[in-house]
Amino acid sequence: MGGILEPPRAPRRPTELRHGDGVRVDDWYWLRDRDDPAVRSLLEAENDYVEAMLAPLGGVRDTVFEEIKARVVETDVSAPVRRGRFEYFTRTRAGLEYAVHCRRPAGPVAPDPNAAPGRGDEEVLLDENVLAAGNDYFALRGLALSPDQARLAYSVDRTGGERTRLHVRDLASGDDLPDEVPDTYYGLGWANDERSIFYVRPDAAMRPFQVWRHVLGTAVSTDRLVFEEADERFYLSVRRARSGQVLFIDIESKVTTEVWLLNADEPDGTPRVVTAREDGVEYRVEHHHDPSGADRLFIVANVDGAENFQLMVADAASPGREHWRTVVAGRDEVRLDRVDAFARHVVLSERAGGMARLRALDLAGGDTVVEVGDDVATTWLGPSPEYDGTVVRVVSTSLVTPTTDYDHDLATGTTTLVKRQRVEGYEPDRYETHRVWARADDATLVPISIVHRRGLDRDGSGAMVLYGYGAYEISIDPAFSISRLSLLERGGAYAIAHVRGGGELGRRWYEDGKLDHKRNTFSDFVACARHLIAEGYTAPSRLVARGGSAGGLTMGAVLNQAPELWRAVVAEVPFVDCLTTMLDPSLPLTITEFDEWGNPGDDEQLYEYIRSYSPYDNVGPVAYPTVLATAGLNDPRVQYWEPAKWVQKLRATTTGTAATLLKTELDAGHHGRSGRYESWREEAFVVAFVLDALGLTD
């Protein structure tokens, strides 16, 4: 449809022309200048346009919000997690946006979900609502309890830009200490002296590249730089081992890792490397202190041809690669994701048949798969801070089963239900979930997880949302969603296309969807849509595609590849101007992303390959379906101008009459609005748009 704005206010300009390419001209390059008042005006005008176009859905939006709100138990308490003499949990209260973090002496009776925070022997450690007061945006980005449980380090983001300020709270008084550290990032770790805390700083390009040590009671200006990573391909973090005896500095690129150890009893000490980095070798380390007194490292690594990783062990005193010994060999059919070490057991997080599961290994001999949840379910290790205990928290969910917390005893194999998320008015027996497989263009079988009401007529008349991501080896596992019920209860179905580029089917699944295999991600998604249509689940006129971030790239690519397949497309904070971004190393994350997408500035073949699928570069004069794109002005991961430019080009180029819409959060970042009610309203906005597109608003 026609645009709402005047033509570009700046001259047409080439964008980083490379390799003799004299064709790429970008009419909307000027939108990158966030300091230009015209840019803010454009974004505000687009928001006004969205409100005007979708004003008839105001009632539907309000209804969906009220449905979400009515299903959520607004005043509730999380499943408590024991740590020594205390158990920790969070409370939510009706009408309050944020959680209240609490603890009390451990006991056999669960906390009363309706009790006011801080009653009786319960302590309020951190009330996010108090911290958020007066801010348009608030997010807690880090939380770390001191070893003696007397202090709490926490970091706060008040813009959505993911740069945080570190604070330390004395839990006896409830007051924050004078110690405040500005401009920090994810990653915190305490030393055993109870005074030293290690934190991470980002550089100008948002790459976390330094670990620093702050000593309580000293000036921040005297903080000591512990480690700096100079190679711009790598980013780092810091964490404390469950054993409490070491701190890890994890250094990673997309294809290579390196880990350094710091003795938690010697915070002034010098870190030592486990084994030096080697291109293409990835490993993750957990420390194990044997009851007999021996220290060793359990290592998940892709060495010796173990593409799907294997479990190895080495003495902590001599951790080099030449000393690694195999405990669980690599398996073609099972991807080993991580290991968690306890005094007498280790827990392996694995993927088999596309599903996440846990395996418990008794260090005295024997192993078992932890069985909980449905056949098409997702299971993971929850918070389990007690190193010497045998009981761990296991969490499970599926497309029909709300999130459920269990306590699993590693010694006896018994599993006890702790808490299942309560969903008001939800009747799980009304729905069914299953998995089907689509055949991609190269005959690869691609899994699809589906949920819908029982008795679905597969006559092609069904309304459906197909979700996809497909990058960074991130698996989009089946999980329950309260907001999704507004679709399902109206007769719509929901499906996840587990496309290549994700990690659902092991390392090869990821490798076949990145770099010069990236187009497999998009053709897989299209193949999934065609399969669902052929099997009678839906039809193009009743199918909405949805994805965000790298999944938003997928949305943009499939919109160009097969515009006829979709009634509408929702692209949230979409990475749609990927060629321009990957040509600009000054932008946050670009250099660290070269191993995922390639470096088109140095490689002409990759330049041409990325250009061949870049959504912004391939918008053409075709009849596009309705598009809703979102952006965050403070987003450091996908800059706001990518969806903003894309929407202008779509609107100016399409030969059809369907609406092209852009909604920008002007006080938020990549993850949208903060606060649970605000996030529900944001989701209700999208769900109302989807219901309208699918004809389900009556």
- Which H or E run includes 611? helix 604-613
Domain boundary among 209, 238, 273: 273
pTM score above 0.85: yes
d(CA 126, CA 174): 8
At what angle are helices 641-653 and 37-53 packed, to 10 degrees? 60
Are both 501 and 520 inside the same structural domain?
A: yes
Mean pLDDT of 91-96: 98
Phi, psi of 405 (to 5 degrees): -100, 130
Percentage of the chain lying above the pLDDT 70 cut: 97
For 222, half-sphere exposure in the C-beta direction (CA atoms, 13 angstrom radius) is 7
d(CA 634, CA 74): 29
Task: Report yes or no on 331 lying in a domain.
Answer: no
Are both 413 and 435 inside the same structural domain?
A: no
| pLDDT in the model for residue 22 | 61
Are both 502 and 410 inside the same structural domain?
A: no
d(CA 432, CA 454): 6
Task: Report yes or no on 198 lying in a domain.
Answer: yes
| pLDDT in the model for residue 16 | 52
Q: 368 with 359: CB under 8 angstroms?
A: yes
Percentage of the chain lying above the pLDDT 90 cut: 93
Lay out the sheet containing 188-190: strands in order across. 188-190, 196-202, 208-215, 224-228
Classify residue 400 by its DSSP letter: S
Q: What is the biggest distance separating any 2 CA atoms in the chain, rounded to whole angstroms? A: 75
d(CA 23, CA 645): 18
Q: Is the pLDDT of residue 691 over 50?
A: yes
- Which H or E run includes 76? strand 76-77
Task: For residue 292, give every residue at least 6 positions away whose Cβ sits within 8 Å of its Cβ, in sequence order, or none.
Answer: none
Are both 402 and 434 inside the same structural domain?
A: no
d(CA 143, CA 236): 18
Are β-strands 367-370 and 325-328 bridged in parallel, bridged antiparallel, or unpaired? unpaired
d(CA 505, CA 355): 8
Give the position of tokens 């497999």: 520
CATH code of the domain covering residue 551: 3.40.50.1820
Per-residue model confidence as pLDDT tens digits over 43-69 = 999 999 999 999 999 999 999 999 999
Q: 419 with 407: CB under 8 angstroms?
A: no
Are both 393 and 506 inside the same structural domain?
A: no
Task: Report yes or no on 392 lying in a domain.
Answer: yes
Are both 441 and 573 inside the same structural domain?
A: yes
Are both 405 and 539 inside the same structural domain?
A: no
Q: Is the pLDDT of residue 101 over 60?
A: yes
Q: Is the pLDDT of residue 394 over 80?
A: yes
Q: 113 with 77: CB under 8 angstroms?
A: yes
Give buried/exposed letters for 290-306 (b at 16+ CB in 10 A, else e).
eeeeeebbbbbbbbeeb
Domain with 592, as residue range(s), is 37-69+425-693
Task: Report yes or no on 350 lying in a domain.
Answer: no
Q: 206 with 162: CB under 8 angstroms?
A: yes
CATH code of the domain covering residue 202: 2.130.10.120
Task: Report yes or no on 259 lying in a domain.
Answer: yes
Mean pLDDT of 254-263: 97
In the chain, the N- to C-terminal Cα span, in Å, equals 26
| pLDDT in the model for residue 374 | 65
| pLDDT in the model for residue 17 | 59
Are both 370 and 459 inside the same structural domain?
A: no
Partners of 115 in beta bridges: none
Contacts 24+ apart (CB under 8 A), 374-378: 374/398, 374/400, 374/401, 374/433, 376/433, 376/434, 376/435, 376/449, 376/478, 377/401, 377/478, 378/477, 378/478, 378/479
Are both 519 and 630 inside the same structural domain?
A: yes
Classify residue 593 by its DSSP letter: G
| pLDDT in the model for residue 19 | 77
Domain boundary among 254, 273, 292: 273
Per-residue model confidence as pLDDT tens digits over 142-160 = 999 999 999 999 999 999 9
Task: Compute the C-alpha angle 111/404/378, nearest 5°.
Answer: 155
Q: How many CB atoms lie within 10 A of CB 464?
A: 24
Mean pLDDT of 91-101: 98
Are both 496 and 380 inside the same structural domain?
A: no
Task: Report yes or no on 361 lying in a domain.
Answer: no
Q: 576 with 642: CB under 8 angstroms?
A: yes
- 581: amino acid identity, one letter: T
Lay out the sheet containing 355-362: strands in order across. 334-341, 345-352, 355-362, 367-370
Per-residue model confidence as pLDDT tens digits over 446-500 = 999 999 999 999 999 999 999 999 999 999 999 999 999 999 999 999 999 999 9
Tokens, residue 183: 């401009």
Q: Is the pLDDT of residue 424 over 60?
A: yes
- Which H or E run includes 141? strand 139-145
Domain boundary among 216, 244, 273: 273
Q: 253 with 215: CB under 8 angstroms?
A: no
Task: Report yes or no on 168 lying in a domain.
Answer: yes
| pLDDT in the model for residue 276 | 98
Are both 597 and 635 inside the same structural domain?
A: yes
Mean pLDDT of 525-536: 98
Q: 556 with 616: CB under 8 angstroms?
A: yes
Mean per-residue pLDDT over the chain, rounded? 95
| pLDDT in the model for residue 24 | 72
Q: 89 with 79: CB under 8 angstroms?
A: yes
Per-residue model confidence as pLDDT tens digits over 177-203 = 999 999 999 999 999 999 999 999 999
Q: Is the pLDDT of residue 290 over 90?
A: no
pLDDT band at 11 (very low <50, low <70, confident <90, very high): very low
d(CA 305, CA 496): 31
d(CA 245, CA 264): 5
d(CA 641, CA 632): 9
Are both 381 and 434 inside the same structural domain?
A: no
Per-residue model confidence as pLDDT tens digits over 222-254 = 999 999 999 999 999 999 999 999 999 999 999
Q: Is the pLDDT of residue 2 over 50?
A: no
For 472, half-sphere exposure in the C-beta direction (CA atoms, 13 angstrom radius) is 11
| pLDDT in the model for residue 9 | 42
Q: 395 with 379: CB under 8 angstroms?
A: yes
Q: How far is CA 501 from CA 262, 379, 511, 562, in A?
A: 34, 21, 7, 20
Q: How many CB atoms lie within 10 A of CB 477?
A: 23
Task: Report yes or no on 602 lying in a domain.
Answer: yes
Tokens, residue 246: 């070491």
Chain centroid offset of residue 256 CA: 20
Higher pLDDT, 304 or 14: 304
* Catalytic residue IDs: 549, 635, 670
d(CA 383, CA 80): 10
Number of domains in the chain: 3
Classify residue 497 by its DSSP letter: E
Q: Is the pLDDT of residue 674 over 60?
A: yes
